[in-house]
Chains A and B, each alone.
Chain A
Amino acid sequence: MPTEDLIQQLTSDLQPVRRLRPVAVRVAAWSVIALASLGLVTMLSGVRRELGDAVDKTDFAIEAALLTATALSAAFGALLVSIPGADRLRYMRSLPIVAGSATVVWALGEVLMATATGAPAGRATFAWYCLYKSTSIAFIPSVVLFLMIRRAAPLHAARAGFLALLATAAVGAIGANVVCPYDRPLHMLLWHAAPLMLFAGLGAGLGTWLLRWPRGAPPQSRGKKDSQH
């Protein structure tokens, strides 16, 4: 088909579209959903008994701050990367990775510190409960974030998926910290911090599959669907 004909076809197909809201607004909307999911699952599971004492500890506060920074910056990055040409700021690209890595490095540091000082570091036992709880918390925010990304134009599907699941895994880890009473360093590293990277990797794969763009029918057969934008 000659390009002129295609232009005619696209023009005749034109419908007004609703612009995407600014990324900050969409991150705020997603944060509300993530908080609701976090609140709901922790309410149903019950928070750890000594949570009042735990929140006074510096370790808990630092972990919470790192996880919150990871969640927000990764969600921001995932939505930004789904808008063509918007992810040009290098620091915005690296911030979620830096925050996520800092969380893991912090947890690793705690293990090394405990080993060096002779404090109990805990045992490398299976703790499916923590993984199950953090996944339950992260599930709905993940679905919502993927839908938000799909509504845009994710040119880099794997990166968008990676950041999306990094964000939701961080929310899940915050929940695990609130629910799980076992806070020995090795347990925190293996079952609260390390899953961030595992889920982020999974997100890259899922992103390639679910967020590939462009997809679906070409404009000539979409009819009035454009008005949904």
Chain B
Amino acid sequence: MTSAQEGDRQAYEDLLTRVASLVHAFVRRRAGDAPWCEDVVQETLVALHRARHTYDISRPFAPWLYAIVQNRLVDALRAQRRKLLREVHPSLTFEPSGHALQERDAMRADVRRAVAGLPERQRQVIELLKFEDLSVRDVAARLGMSEANVKVTAHRGYRALRRLIEEWTRAD
């Protein structure tokens, strides 16, 4: 880590490779075979990269690393919990008719077509927020924007979408 702080790329690559396997094993032990384990590993690597200037060479590396892993893992578990709470149990949902399904599919296709027609940034933000179900914070991190900017861009995107869909409805 000391070499990595000084800019030694080879040492850093070796370190990250070893850390990735350690973190993977750590997350697996706690979360089992959850599909998001690899996401936690990657988020830990990114967090480690950002926090590398905080590592004190006079202290052991493991507590520093595992504090970051623990933090990322807890965040991931909270996100999963929120996601689970949003989902409705299948037994409580009613089965839509064939016609309703067709209408829903058509509407989905329309929305996707409308999103595809948005300016690049608005499209990216809405796709990540709504289709990939990422949080504002994750979208901001992914696109290199501030959270406020993500919200403003999304808002403008929704407005543009509304206009576009209203125009189509009138044309129909």
Contacts and interface: CB of A to CB of B under 8 A. Distances in A.
Contacts of B145: 217
A81 to B, nearest CB: 10
Contacts, number: 113
Interface stretch (A17-25, A67-75, A191-199): A17-25
A17 B46 contact: no
A218 B5 contact: no
B49 A3 contact: no
A40 interface: no
Contacts of B137: 212, 215
Interface residues of A, number: 37
Interface stretch (B6-14, B90-98, B102-110, B126-134): B6-14
Given A214-B141, A217-B144, A218-B142, A84 B68 contact: yes
Contacts of A17: 5, 7, 52-53
A229 interface: yes
A16 B141 contact: no
B64 interface: yes
B45 A10 contact: yes
Q: How large is the interface on B (under 10, 10 to 19, 20 to 34, 35 or more residues)?
A: 35 or more
B118 interface: no
Given A16-B5, A19-B57, A152-B54, A84 B16 contact: no
B100 to A, nearest CB: 38
Given A7-B20, A84-B71, A85-B64, A16 B45 contact: no
Interface in B19-61: 20, 38, 41-42, 45-47, 49-57, 59
Given A1-B42, A10-B12, A13-B49, A84 B7 contact: no
B17 A7 contact: yes
Interface string B107-145: 000000000000000000000000000000100111111
A88 interface: yes
A52 interface: no
Interface in B133-165: 137, 140-147
Contacts of B54: 19-20, 82-84, 152-153
Given A86-B59, A214-B47, A218-B46, A10 B16 contact: yes
Interface of A (DSSP majority class): loop
Contacts of A229: 52-53
Contact of A11 (B16, B66, B67): B16
A47 interface: no
Interface string A142-167: 00000000001101000000000000
Given A17-B52, A229-B53, 5 more contacts: A10-B49, A84-B71, A155-B68, A214-B50, A215-B140
Interface of B: 4-7, 9, 12-13, 16-17, 20, 38, 41-42, 45-47, 49-57, 59, 63-68, 71, 137, 140-147
Interface of A: 1, 3, 6-8, 10-20, 22, 82-86, 88, 152-153, 155, 212, 214-222, 229
